[in-house]
Amino acid sequence: MTCDAGGDRIPESLREPLAQAGISSVIPGIEPLINETSINESSVSRDDPSRLLMPPIDREAGLAARLIADHAECDLIANPYRADLVDVGRSVHHRNLFRPSVRKLPAKVRKAILSEIRTPYRETVRRRISEMLLQYPYVVHLSIRTFAARTASGQWQRGDVGLLYDPGRADELDWCLDLSDELYFAMPDLRVRRNHPGRGTNDSLTKAMRKHFYDVHYLGVEVVLNRAWVARPVLRRREVLRVLANAIREVTPEATPQAA
């Protein structure tokens, strides 16, 4: 399990360059690092991965990833750094790799951001998958994110949990169908949608990992949670996350280790 966006730190090596560039390196609470107090939803489309509208610090994604990983008893690799510096889930040439204010920074600073944050995180994920495949015949990789409660037009999103996968990979499709069924029986009121609010083939960390590993060995699914409920600190939230974790365990039996 991975979480791209739950971190709140700034690398020490970047504090001075960011300060020199006119961006404060000391942020109280959860104020945006970049001078963008809101995200423009009007330009968001289903074909654009920015549809998930990631806030500067997606604390809800970080919390959900930790709770699900704990209940499901699986590894968690979480990006500890702020998402408004760089979106580690994007490919290096994607237009939304950096927020607009970061794109205005000197090339040297942007390169340092990539080398300090994005590259180590993605290499850690790829290396861990490779290590697991030396021991097991396949790996299920779940990337945890959240998405905005409302659409670009202001309508409420019709879904509580989204499972984003590549429909061309039969094992990913089957796994998502199994998880949807399991969640329906465990919590019928939970609205689970497949490839919504976006497509699993859009630019993402799971898409990048598919290029490294064959489909028989690697299943990559983004599990995206609606902030309409996951951002509310109530007991019901923990109950839903526990049910989700139990369902993941149920449909993902631990594979028998391969012989050395």
Average of per-residue pLDDT across 209-213: 98
Residue 244 maps to a domain: yes
Do 5 and 52 contact (CB within 8 A), yes or no?
A: no
> Got the DSSP string for 184-228?
HHH-TTS-EEES-SS-TTSSSHHHHHHTTS-TTTEEEEEEEEEHH
- Residue 15 forms part of a structural domain: yes
State the total domains in the chain. 1
Question: What is the model's pLDDT at position 260?
Answer: 54
* Position 259 in a domain: no
Q: Which domain holds residue 57?
A: 2-251
Determine the average pLDDT of the residues in 71-79.
96
pTM: 0.87
Strand residues in 107-187 grouped as ranges (E)? 139-147, 161-164
Query: Which of 211, 171, 182, 156 is closest to 72 using CA atoms?
Result: 182
Within 10 angstroms of residue 19's Cβ, the number of other Cβ atoms is: 12
- Whether residue 218 is contained in a domain is answered as yes
Residue 58 has pLDDT above 90, yes or no: no
The whole-number average pLDDT for the span 225-241 is 93
Mean pLDDT of the chain: 87
Q: Is residue 168 pLDDT above 60, yes or no?
A: yes
Task: Tell whether 257 is covered by a domain.
Answer: no
Q: How confident is the model at residue 256 (pLDDT cuts 50, 70, 90)?
A: low
Q: 98-104: long-range contacts (C-beta < 8 A, 24 or more apart)?
A: 99/34, 99/36, 100/34, 100/36, 101/23, 101/34, 101/35, 101/36, 102/34
In this structure, what token pair is assigned to residue 164?
């984003």
Cβ 87 vs Cβ 95: under 8 Å:
no
Per-residue pLDDT for 44 more than 70?
A: no
- CATH code, domain with 51: 3.40.630.40
Tell whether 189 is covered by a domain.
yes
pLDDT of residue 55: 67
Q: Which residues contact 188 (CB under 8 A, 6 or more apart)?
A: none
In-domain check, residue 139: yes
Does residue 97 form part of some domain? Answer: yes
Q: Which of 19-28, 42-51, 53-62, 219-228 shows the lowest mean pLDDT across its residues? A: 42-51
Number of H helices, E strands in the chain: 9, 6
Residues of 44-76 as b/e, b for ≥16 C-beta within 10 angstroms? beeebbbbbbbbbbbebbbbbbbbbbebbebeb
